[in-house]
Structure 1
Amino acid sequence: MWRTTVFYDGSCPLCTAEIDHYRRRDRRGALEFVDVSKPTERLPEGVDRAALMARFHALAPDGRLRSGARAFVTVWAQLPGWRFLAHVAGLPGVLALLEGLYRLFLPVRPLLARVVRLSRGRVA
């Protein structure tokens, strides 16, 4: 079985919490998780670590590397309880809306990650 490979920033507590949620939902083992903050992790050919840490990426079973909202939808399609949202994302205009929202989130991600770290008693 071909799996979807999920590339995430393990140094980001928000990202790690989301990935932990996906891990719990992945009952079929359809997802493989790669923490790109670890320098020893293998990366997809032609993509640098900084790009993978800056945006969410997933390598789909068809071999296509997807980022942003498309990557999330690729992951959601594999998870019970999330497949419906993946189908909704296929409706006209929804993926573009999700990508726009994701782009609005990206600049505030470092601030939110810092708040999460502080709330857990760890200063970054």
Structure 2
Amino acid sequence: MNTAKLTIFFDGGCPLCKREVDFLQSRNQKGYLSFIDINTSDFYLDLKYGITYKQAMERIHALKSDGSVIKDIKVFQEAYTLIGLGWIYAPTKLPIFDKFIEFIYGIWAKYRLKLTFRPSIEKLCTEKGCKLS
């Protein structure tokens, strides 16, 4: 029986993303989180979930058990709540601070590939055979 309440789409080629997922998996005793590495060659996000590979590589996405898709800092807020550490991300929901955190996450998302010495999104998409638009 699948008890996952949140399925997180992550970039398994990103060392920092992988470290975060490893931490979340280590705290996932109730099985509320599941994970899908978007770099697996047989996985087509757009066909199954309506999220393109490019979109998933640009910003983190997750699928809630009700079928809704969330992204960016909301993924971390939800994931940490589900593993019993919601207090860590609670301040990111405060007015003004939430906008600042979203801004910081946006910068990270924009430069993540460069900062982790990875190919550009265009090159990754070309290798994957996906659309850039």
Output the TM-score relative to the length of structure 2.
Answer: 0.74
Comparing 55-64 with 14-23, greater Cα deviation is found at 55-64
- Judge conservation of contact 1:8–1:33 (CA < 8 Å) in 2: yes
- Cα drift, residue 101 of structure 1: 0.8
Aligned to 1:66: 70
The CA deviation at 1:91 is: 2.3
Match of 2:121 in 1: none
Residue 104 in 1 paired to residue 79 in 2? Answer: no
Deviation >3 Å, runs of 4+: none
Size of the aligned set, in residue pairs, is 114
Check 1:107–1:90 CA distance in 2 against 1; reply closer, same or farther (3 A cut): closer
1:94 aligns with 2:97: yes
Rounded to whole Å, the distance in 2 between the matches of 1:102 and 1:72 is 11
Q: Which residue of 2 aligns with 1:121?
A: none
Aligned CA RMSD, in angstroms, stands at 2.0
SS in 2 for 1:41: coil
1:61 maps to amino acid = S
1:32-43 aligned at under 5 Å gives the runs: 32-43=34-45
Q: Which amino acid in structure 2 is aligned with residue 40 of structure 1?
A: D
Q: Note if contact 2:10-2:38 (Cα within 8 Å) is conserved in structure 1.
A: yes
Gaps of 5+ in 1: 116-124
Amino acid at match of 1:106: A
Q: Which residue of 2 aligns with 1:114?
A: 117
Query: Residue 13 of structure 1: which of 12, 15, 36 is its match?
Result: 15
2:35 partner SS: strand
